[in-house]
Amino acid sequence: PHIGDANRPKLFPTFKTGVTQCLCYLLALLVAVLLIVNGSHAHPSIYSHESHPEPKSWQLKGIVAALDDTDPLVWAEALNKLSRYKLDQLKPPVEIPNERIEQIAELLAYKHETENERKSVQSRVHASAAKALSEIGTAAYKYAPQIAELLTDEDSDVHDSAVLALGNMGATASEYAPQIAKLLTHSDSDVSDSVAKALGQMGVAKDYAPQVAERLTDKDSDVRARAVRALGNMGVAASQYAPQIISLLTDSDLSVSYGAAYALGQMGATASEYAPQIAKLLTDEDSDVRSSAAYALGQMGAAASDYAPQIVERLTDSDENVRDHAAWALGEMGAAASEYASQILPLLTDNDSNVRASAAYALGQMGTAASDYVDKILPLLTDSKNSVRASAAYALGQMGAPAYKYRHQIAKLLNESNRHVRRSAASALGQMGAAASEYAPQIAKLLTHSNSWVRRSAAEALGKMGAAPSEYAPKIIPLLTESDNWVRESVAEALEQMGPLELKHLLSVLNQVYWYQREAPTLRFLAYFLSGGEEDSLVLIKWLGSPKEYPHENEDQAINHQEGLDVLNLFAQIWEPSQDLPKLRKDLERQIAIVVDRKS
C-alpha cells in the first residue's frame, strides 16, 4: 500500500550554496507550518481526497460571475471550481441564487457553435455542470432528468459525472438506478466504481448486487477484480456476498485478491463476523494469500483486533509482503493493538523498505502509546527510500510532545523532491505546533529563484500563510505565465488564499492573459474568482484580458450613452495603475477609442 517509488527519478537538483540552503530551509520550515490545516492523519502513503470546504461568500460571487463570460471554457473552469466546495448546506448570506442554479442546469444541454471543437468543448461543459450540480445534492433533483440523459454520453468523464450527481441525490433519485446500473460492467474501473457507490447511496445496491456477484467467478481476472471492487463500493448492502469474496483472497491474480480485501474492509463491521475464516488464511502456504489475509483484517481495523496475536506472528514471516501487510494491519487497529508495539520495533530495520515504512506507520497509528520509541524512529528520517522517510515523519508527528525535540530534523525533509515526503513532514511539524510565519520576507525573495520548485514552494508558502495581498500579490502574479504547470497552479492557489484582490492587482492577473493566450480560460476565470464579484472588477474583465467576445462585438448589447460614460470613468481610474502593464495598457487604449467612437 505504498506510494514511494525506489526508482522515481530525481525531479529537483540538490542545492549546494550556503545562502540557498539557508533560504530553502526557511522556506521548508514555513511550508511546514502553513500546511498544518491540510495535515493528514492517514497513512502518509495513502492520500484520500480532502473533504470539500464550505465556500465563502466572495468566492461564490466570483465563481458564478464567470458564468456570464462569453467563453464556454471559462464556464467549465468556474463549474469545476464550484464542484470542489460543499454546497448542499449553504445558508444566507453564503448561497447560490436560484437563477444561477437554473443557469448551470441549462448548461447540461449546451450546444457549442464551432464545429471543429464542438465535441471537446461540449463534453467539458456538460461534465463540469453535472459535477457542480452533484455537490448541491437533493436540491438538484429537479434537474435529474437532464442529468440522466448524460448517462449515455460517449465521453466517460461526462457519464461518470452524471453518475456522481445522481448518486449524491440519494434515494430521491433511485428511479434512475436501472439506467445507472447499465454502467456496472463498464470497462473503465473508475466508472464502475462510481456506479456501485451511487447505487449504494440510493439504497438500491442490494437489488443489483446479485448480477455483480455473478462475475466473481468469471475466467477473466479483470472482470473478477472489477466485480469485487464494485461489491465493496456497495458497502453493507453487498455484505451477504462476503463468503464468496473471502474465497477470492486466494485468487492467483493480486488485483483480485487485494480487491477482495478492500471490499471486505468497505463492508465494515458487517464483514467482521467472517474474520475467523480470514484469520485462518494467515497460515496458508501461499505467501500472497497470507498477505491478502493480513490486508483484509487490517481493512476491518479495530473490529478485527481479536486476531492481532495471529497477525503479530506474521511480523517474522519469510515473505516481505506478508511482513509489510502484517505491520500495516496492526497500525490500522490503532490503540487496540498498541500492546504489540515492541514486537513491531524490529521491523524498523528490516531489509525491505516497504516493511520499514509500514512499521513506522503502525507505531505512528498507535500514537502516544508508542511514544517510547521515538528515538528508534528518528534514524528513518534519513532512510534512502521516500516511503520510509514519509512514514517516519508521519509517525513522529502522531507521537506528540516526546517527538518535538526532533522538529528540526523533520523540517529538513521539506527540501526533498518527493512531495509525499514533504507533505508528511509538513503535517508532522504542524501537529507539533511549530511556527515560523516571520520568515515571509525571506520567502518572498525566493519567488525569483532560478529553480522552478523553489519558486513554486515560495508562492505556496506566501499563500498559505495568508500574507498581505497588497505586499505579495504583485510579486506572485508574474509567475502565472511560468512554463512549469506546477508553478502556475501553485501561484493560482496562493492568490486564491489572498483573495479577493484589489482592482489594481486584478489588472496584473488580466495582463498575464496577453502573454499566455493558451491559458486564457484559466486566467480569466481566476480574475473573476479573485474579483469576489465586485461590480467594477467585473466590468473590466469583460473589456480587458482578451475576452472571447468584446462587449462592442455583441450586436444584441449595444452600449448606450450613460453606459459608455461609466465605462470611460472606470478606464480613467485604471489608467495610471496600468502604466506598468504594457500589453493590457495597449488593449485599454484600443477599448477607450472604441467606447468614445460608440458614445459619440
- What are the residue ranges spanned by the domains of the chain? 208-319
pLDDT, tens digit, for every residue of 269-287?
778 888 998 999 999 999 9
Please report the pLDDT score of residue 460 as a whole number. Answer: 72
Q: Give the confidence band of 318 by pLDDT, cuts at 50, 70, 90.
A: very high
Asked if residue 427 has pLDDT above 70, the reply is no
State mean pLDDT over 105-129: 90
Residues whose CB falls within 8 Å of the CB of residue 331, separated by 6 or more in sequence, listed in order: 43, 298, 337, 358, 361, 362, 363, 364, 365, 366
Asked if residue 237 has pLDDT above 60, the reply is yes
Please report the pLDDT score of residue 445 as a whole number. Answer: 78
Which CATH code for domain 208-319?
A: 1.25.10.10
Whether residue 394 contacts residue 364, with contact meaning beta carbons closer than 8 Å, is answered with yes
Measured between alpha carbons, how far is 158 from 168 in angstroms, rounded to an integer? 16
Measured between alpha carbons, how far is 525 from 536 in angstroms, rounded to an integer? 16
Whether residue 196 contacts residue 205, with contact meaning beta carbons closer than 8 Å, is answered with yes
The share of the chain scoring above pLDDT 90, in percent, equals 54
Asked if residue 426 has pLDDT above 90, the reply is no
Range with the poorest average pLDDT among 108-117, 218-227, 290-299, 528-537:
108-117
pLDDT, tens digit, for every residue of 159-201?
999 999 999 999 999 999 999 999 988 888 888 889 999 998 9
Mean pLDDT across the chain, nearest whole number? 85
Q: Give the confidence band of 421 by pLDDT, cuts at 50, 70, 90.
A: confident
Please report the pLDDT score of residue 46 as a whole number. Answer: 33
Highest mean pLDDT among 314-318, 425-429, 473-477: 314-318
State mean pLDDT over 437-463: 71
Asked if residue 415 has pLDDT above 80, the reply is no
Please report the pLDDT score of residue 435 as a whole number. Answer: 40
State mean pLDDT over 248-269: 87
Whether residue 357 contacts residue 45, with contact meaning beta carbons closer than 8 Å, is answered with yes
Q: Give the confidence band of 431 by pLDDT, cuts at 50, 70, 90.
A: low
Q: Give the confidence band of 481 by pLDDT, cuts at 50, 70, 90.
A: confident
Whether residue 74 contacts residue 528, with contact meaning beta carbons closer than 8 Å, is answered with yes
Please report the pLDDT score of residue 507 as a whole number. Answer: 95
SS3 content of the chain, % helix, strand, coil (to 5): 75, 0, 25
Q: Give the confidence band of 549 by pLDDT, cuts at 50, 70, 90.
A: very high
Asked if residue 9 has pLDDT above 50, the reply is no
Q: Which residue has the higher pLDDT, 46 or 193?
A: 193
Residue type, 52: H
Distances in Å between the Cα of 128 and the Cα atoms of 29, 66, 161, 492 are 37, 14, 8, 20
Q: Give the confidence band of 439 by pLDDT, cuts at 50, 70, 90.
A: very low
Asked if residue 18 has pLDDT above 70, the reply is no
Asked if residue 585 has pLDDT above 90, the reply is yes
Please report the pLDDT score of residue 470 as a whole number. Answer: 67
Helix (H) or strand (E) holding 120: helix 118-136
Please report the pLDDT score of residue 82 as a whole number. Answer: 95
- List Cβ<8 Å contacts ≥24 apart for 474-480: 474/505, 474/508, 475/444, 475/447, 476/447, 477/505, 477/508, 477/509, 477/512, 478/508, 478/512, 479/447, 479/455, 480/509, 480/512, 480/516, 480/519, 480/523, 480/526
Measured between alpha carbons, how far is 359 from 329 in angstroms, rounded to an integer? 10
Please report the pLDDT score of residue 423 as a whole number. Answer: 67
Cα 492 to the center of its chain, rounded Å: 15
Range with the poorest average pLDDT among 28-37, 242-251, 283-292, 406-415:
28-37
State mean pLDDT over 203-211: 92
**Cell, residue 477:** 502574479
State mean pLDDT over 14-42: 43
pLDDT, tens digit, for every residue of 500-512?
999 989 999 999 9
State mean pLDDT over 27-55: 48
Asked if residue 588 has pLDDT above 60, the reply is yes
Q: Give the confidence band of 466 by pLDDT, cuts at 50, 70, 90.
A: low
Q: Give the confidence band of 213 by pLDDT, cuts at 50, 70, 90.
A: very high
pLDDT, tens digit, for every residue of 375-399?
999 999 999 999 999 999 999 989 8
Helix (H) or strand (E) holding 287: helix 287-299
pTM check: above 0.85 = no
